Amino acid sequence: MKSYLTPLGSKADKDTVRRHNLSLVLRAVRDEGEAGEATRAGVSARVGLTRAAVSSLVEQLLETGFVTESGKTFSGQAGRPGTALKVARTGAAGLGVEVNIDYVSVCVVDLAGTGRVRQTEHLDNRGAPPEEVLARAAAIAARTLDSAREQDLHPVGTALALPGLVSGGSVRQAPNLGWNQVAAEDLFADALAGLIPGTAALPVRSENEANLAALAELWFGGLGAVRSFLYLTGEIGVGGALVLDGELLRGAHGFAGEIGHVVVDPAGPECRCGSRGCLEQYAGQSALLRAAGVDTEGAAGVMELERRAGAGDPVALAAVAEAGRMLGQVLSGAVNLFDPDAVVLGGIYRGLMPWLSPPADSELTDRVVSGLWSRGGGRLRASSVAGDAARGAAALVVQDVLADPVAYAGPAALGG
């Protein structure tokens, strides 16, 4: 049960309180709708406001297009049936753009968090100038926006999911892309504005892609009551994120989670980050394919690795098992530090779980000092299909709308 509290105090500004309560009601309608049907009476009970106050707030949300009414629902009690409320399936939405080493994925989600439009293109972004890569991403985003508008969806903001150290609108360092101090938000916004006049006012924010994938797993995945977990994603690099009690742990400078650059062997292979023996040199996509003798890169190479492992190829199985052992060793240190309920593996690891999980789980069982980790105990999980960075990025924009619907209620925000 989520907690909904209205802040009180003699200095509370009426407009501020009303905006806060509008947010409470809008989020309650969304949450009640996930479990069935929302009514004014149900929302009132959920948020702790009077029925009259909730009715007034609902009317404003109906007028601004964030909430819709549909049909009647009976509570089983005496009296008039309540009108069913739902968050709108049209109007305000979020746009998420994931820029990764070998692909760009763009997603639009509505206020309920439902993915409505998706476009993904496999591109080799390594070595390409940042301006070129972000211009490609903007072109895919522009096509996605066209498709969204055909469904009467109007994204009110964009969130970029980017690899590496992301802070203050820039990629401070992304070793596998070769980026350093790249003003990604500005470059993307300028490119998109050049393709679609009028989008210059569309706000753009950015975040590390593993962080956004972890949030997507939290919001849309099948974790149930699990609110504290370590998320690891395998792509060309290895990214990580930590969610504690439903909140992302960002660190003092926003760089927490760079687990791919934890050193496994100080004398190991040189890493693009400048160190040696980093985890991604043993468990990253390129390292895995190389160890398995798979010559094809990218998604096709990963599919071939899965095929060989499934066919019992000893070289492929040995490569995946060694990667699993390295993952387990590094993950056990993180589990000992932060004590999460679960470890979730995404990206290429999801499809490799049948062969990757046993050696990783064994290392965790042997090395986690609490003794709470037991082999096969279900704490090591594959990510859900919903746990991807583009959807997490788009949902981050929607979270802003839910937090302050008044700020997005103008005609421009709704495409008017």
CA angle 205, 207, 209 (to 5 degrees): 135
* 212-216, 383-387, 398-402, 410-414: least confident range: 410-414
Mean pLDDT of 93-98: 97
Taking the CA of residue 156 as centre, how many other CA atoms within 13 Å lie in the half-sphere pointing to its CB?
Answer: 27
What gap in Å lies between CA 232 and CA 338, rounded to an integer? 14
Q: Are 104 and 136 in contact (CB under 8 A)?
A: yes
Mean pLDDT of 360-377: 88
β-strand 380-382 against 342-347: which pairing, if any?
Answer: parallel
Across all residues in the chain, what is the average pLDDT? 89
Task: Identify which of 151, 142, 175, 174 has the alpha carbon closest to the alpha carbon of residue 161.
Answer: 174
What gap in Å lies between CA 280 and CA 286, rounded to an integer? 9
211-231: pLDDT as tens digits: 999 999 999 988 888 999 999
pLDDT value at residue 274: 87
Taking the CA of residue 404 as centre, how many other CA atoms within 13 Å lie in the half-sphere pointing to its CB?
Answer: 9
| Residue 14 phi, psi dihedral angles, 5° rounding | -60, -40
Residue 74 has pLDDT above 70, yes or no: no
241-267: pLDDT as tens digits: 999 999 999 888 888 888 999 999 999
Residues β-bridged to residue 159: 96, 205
126-182: pLDDT as tens digits: 889 999 999 999 999 999 999 999 999 999 999 999 999 999 999 999 988 999 999
276-330: pLDDT as tens digits: 999 999 999 999 999 999 998 888 999 999 999 999 999 999 999 999 999 999 9
Q: What contacts 325, CB < 8 A, 6 or more positions away?
A: 359, 360, 362, 363
Residue 4 has pLDDT above 70, yes or no: no
Task: Identify which of 236, 11, 29, 204 has the alpha carbon closest to the alpha carbon of residue 125.
Answer: 236
339-364: pLDDT as tens digits: 999 999 999 999 999 999 999 999 99
What gap in Å lies between CA 134 and CA 139, rounded to an integer? 9
User: Distances in Å between the alpha carbon of 194 and those of 101, 105, 140, 230, 270?
Assistant: 24, 20, 13, 39, 40
Q: Which residue bears the tokens 């160890």?
A: 291
Tokens of 263: 């050193």
Element (H, E) at 56: helix 51-63
Q: What is the pTM of this model?
A: 0.88
Q: Which residue bears the tokens 């500004």?
A: 13
Q: What contacts 192, CB < 8 A, 6 or more positions away?
A: 138, 141, 142, 158, 199, 202, 204
Higher pLDDT, 26 or 387: 26
Q: Are 245 and 227 in contact (CB under 8 A)?
A: yes
Task: Quickly count: other Cβ atoms within 10 Å of residue 108's Cβ.
Answer: 28
